[in-house]
Amino acid sequence: MFTFERQDKILKILKKKPGVRVSDLSSSLGVSEATIRRDLNKLHETRQIQRIYGGAILAEKTPPEAYLMTQRATENIEEKSRIGKLTASLVHEGDTVFIGSGTTTQEVARNLAGRQNITIITNAITIINLLYQEEGISLIATGGLLRLSELSFIGHLTESALRELRPQKVIMGIRAISLIEGLTNDYLPEVSTDRLIIQSAPEVILVADHTKFGKVSTALIAPLSFIHTLVTDTGIDEEILPSLNGLVKNVLLA
């Protein structure tokens, strides 16, 4: 069997299964594990698969954002609600926290309503609308250039504000997560803002439902090692958990 034929078979297997192990591929294709590892590495380099501990999963390309955040809010509601509740429990009295834009971070903010002695910094209109009447929460808005599809502020003015602020924690969502490629985004004007957000606090909490994993988008935000705590849901593929636990200090399942 030629190399390209073997790699094509691997891709066909992955399209039918959520993940494959090196040992299983070695047995089914009748070649050594070393050969399978070379095949998987090559497929990973071309971004057709994502290497994980002991095997691989199919790497999805995230499609361009073609619909508004207000429409995405109806997707995976139950998972996002659980993630929001668990993440809100990580915010304590006296904390200063940056909360980024997105439908999952919105659920975090919803669960902070009624809390006391918390300062929230945000670039998201949705977060402002949820918390502006909360007497126990001091609210700081960054301002900047409005990105209408996300109802969030990005760009130079937003970044200038972020450089002047010192949150203790950042809570943010992300477009796509890959164990190898890290955190990526497909909207290039937002990338520099996201990079500054992720560097603005000593503790970064990433919130993402299971559908965000195994995907790679256009531009790198940061490697997964930049994340201190990842909060996701129980729908995540269990095969990637060992690798995640090796990259992120705390992985919490809601």
For 31, what's the count of Cα atoms within 13 Å in the CB-facing half-sphere? 17
* Tens digit of each residue's pLDDT (9 = 90 or more) over 96-150: 999 999 999 999 999 999 999 999 999 999 999 999 999 999 999 999 999 988 8
Does 1.10.10.10 match the CATH number of domain 3-58?
yes
pLDDT digits (tens, 9 = 90+) for 186-199: 888 899 999 999 99
User: What is the sign of the dihedral through the CA atoms of 24, 247, 182 and 97?
Assistant: positive
Pairwise CA distance, residues 123 & 165, whole Å: 12
**Strands in 118-228 per DSSP E:** 118-122, 137-141, 145-147, 152-154, 169-172, 176-178, 182-185, 203-207, 215-216, 219-222
What are the tens digits of pLDDT across the range 186-242? 888 899 999 999 999 999 999 999 989 988 888 899 999 999 999 999 999 888 899
Quick one: tokens of 241? Answer: 């958990």
Instruction: Give phi and psi for 155, each to the nearest 5.
Output: 95, -170
Query: CA-to-CA distance for 17 and 100, rounded, in angstroms?
Result: 34
Question: What pLDDT score was predicted for residue 132?
Answer: 95
What's residue 73's pLDDT?
Answer: 63
254 DSSP assignment: -
At residue 60, the pLDDT reads 65
Q: In the chain, list all ranges with CATH 1.10.10.10.
A: 3-58
Residues of the chain with CATH 3.40.50.1360: 69-253
The answer regarding whether domain 69-253 maps to CATH 3.40.50.1360 reads yes
The pTM of this model reads 0.76
For 152-181, the pLDDT digits (tens) are: 999 999 999 999 999 999 999 998 998 888
The tokens describing 116, both together, are: 């006391």
> Please, where are the H alpha helices in 17-155?
22-29, 33-45, 69-72, 77-88, 103-110, 125-131
